[in-house]
Amino acid sequence: MVYKVDCLNILSKELICTKPNEYLSKHTTIGIGGKCRLLVLPHTQKEICKTIDFCRLNDVLYTKTGNGSNLVVADDGFDGVVIKLGKNFSHVVVQGTSLFSQAGASGKRVFNVAKQHGLGGVEFLATLPATVGGAVCSNAGCFGKSMQDVVQKVWATDGMTMKEFCKQDIAFGYRDSIFKHNDFVITWVQFDLQKTDVCRIEKRWREILAHKKATQPLDKKSAGCIFKKCNGVSAGYYIDKLGLKGFCVGDAQISCKHAGFVVNNGGATSKQVIQLMGIIRQRCKQTFGITLEPEVVFLGSTDDFRRLSYTHGF
């Protein structure tokens, strides 16, 4: 896509915090990805709307992201605007047993505020590297609990309107929600929690964290589980059965600790990750007769998608 020379400069001057030609590898937990045209870090809902409106009016590609914890960005980057909600959008307030969080807040922040008010239910969220908005979008979860179990309402904007989504509207599914399939950017999330003894909250969080440290490569750069469960069974189980732990394509490696994770050993590229995923998928199909579906989200320009077949091959 070709932009007018000063097109994104105009947008950048109207917002508080932007970063032109920013490497997205800095904004994903796997540490992979080329540049985007402009990274926007909104401070207000008005800035989100202004960015979306500008992109729509000027035919500029845009996308939304949180902490990039399940994101694999193309080596050639993303030829558009990335709206990232983070620390500038992380207020959390409590009213009774309801907790309201802006979409850029971390799961750990939500957990800490909930614990201070004796509210349980989000212990699992504290161990996830996602922002609240990102966690809702992918219905993130672990150890038998996910966002659909604790989220009551969501407020989101498409740049023109602010809409309230009740739980039914959100259409939660396995690692899925309506926000994966529309242009709305989540701004606020309401959690429905329960009064719980603080010691019990702390104990449950420590149990989950200890289990994760023992079974997952938390010390490595990764995008979490690379494939979704198949027939209710972890993809890591099948990959482990194939004896692929430690298998590499370049610096992209199947974790020796958890076969469901692909880790970046320092210089991995998205192309290497895609090739590794292709090998895993082919072997699982040949050996077990199953088709693994990606849990990670791929982001790249149209040319990248065609060249690497990010979506066509999966």
Q: Give the domain CATH number at 288.
A: 3.90.78.10
83 and 93 both lie in a single domain: no
Q: Rounded to whole angstroms, how far apart are CA atoms 167 and 151?
A: 7
Cα-Cα-Cα-Cα torsion 32, 34, 35, 36, nearest 10 degrees, comes to -80
Q: How confident is the model at residue 304 (pLDDT cuts 50, 70, 90)?
A: very low
pLDDT tops 50 at residue 151: yes
Decide if 210 is inside a domain: no
Q: How many CB atoms lie within 10 A of CB 119?
A: 24
74 and 94 both lie in a single domain: no
252 and 296 both lie in a single domain: yes
Mean pLDDT estimate for the chain = 92
CATH assignment of the domain containing 156? 3.30.465.10
CATH assignment of the domain containing 41? 3.30.43.10
Percent of the chain clearing pLDDT 90 (strictly above): 87
Q: Provide the domain count of the chain.
A: 3
Residues paired with 100 in a beta bridge: 93, 190
Q: How confident is the model at residue 10 (pLDDT cuts 50, 70, 90)?
A: confident
Check residue 14 and give its pLDDT.
83
Q: How many CB atoms lie within 10 A of CB 279?
A: 15
178 and 274 both lie in a single domain: no
Q: Rounded to whole angstroms, how far apart are CA atoms 145 and 124?
A: 7
Which pLDDT tens digit goes with each residue over 37-50?
A: 999 999 899 999 99
Hey, is 187 helix, strand or coil?
strand
Domain of 167 in residue numbering reads as 89-200
**3-state secondary structure string, 194-223?**
EECCHHHHHHHHHHHHHHHHHHCCCCCEEE
136 and 36 both lie in a single domain: no
Decide if 312 is inside a domain: no
176 and 241 both lie in a single domain: no
Pairing of strands 92-95, 119-120: unpaired
Decide if 252 is inside a domain: yes
pLDDT tops 70 at residue 309: no
Q: Which residue has the tokens 């999330």?
A: 189
Q: Rounded to whole angstroms, how far apart are CA atoms 165 and 156?
A: 8
Q: Which residues of 35-68 are buried (b: 16+ CB within 10 A; e: fewer)?
A: bbbbbbbbeebebbbbbbebbeeeebbbbbbbbb
Residues 6+ apart with CB under 8 A from 88: 17, 41, 42, 43, 104
175 and 234 both lie in a single domain: no
Q: How confident is the model at residue 217 (pLDDT cuts 50, 70, 90)?
A: very high
Decide if 155 is inside a domain: yes
226 and 291 both lie in a single domain: yes
Mean of the pLDDT values across residues 128-146? 95
105 and 171 both lie in a single domain: yes
Element (H, E) at 175: none
Sort 160 into a burial class: Cβ within 10 Å, 0-12 / 13-18 / 19+.
exposed
Of the ranges 210-214, 236-240, 267-271, 298-302, which one carries the lowest mean pLDDT score? 298-302
Decide if 81 is inside a domain: yes
165 and 250 both lie in a single domain: no
Mean of the pLDDT values across residues 227-251? 97
99 and 192 both lie in a single domain: yes
Residues paired with 311 in a beta bridge: none
Mean of the pLDDT values across residues 47-75? 94
Of the candidates 252, 300, 255, the residue with the CA atom closest to the CA atom of residue 275: 252
190 and 273 both lie in a single domain: no
Query: Of 167, 200, 233, which residue constitutes the final position of a domain?
Result: 200
Q: Measured between alpha carbons, how far is residue 28 from residues 131, 146, 296 in Å?
A: 12, 21, 12
Check residue 306 and give its pLDDT.
42
Handedness of CA 228, 230, 235, 239 (dihedral sign): negative
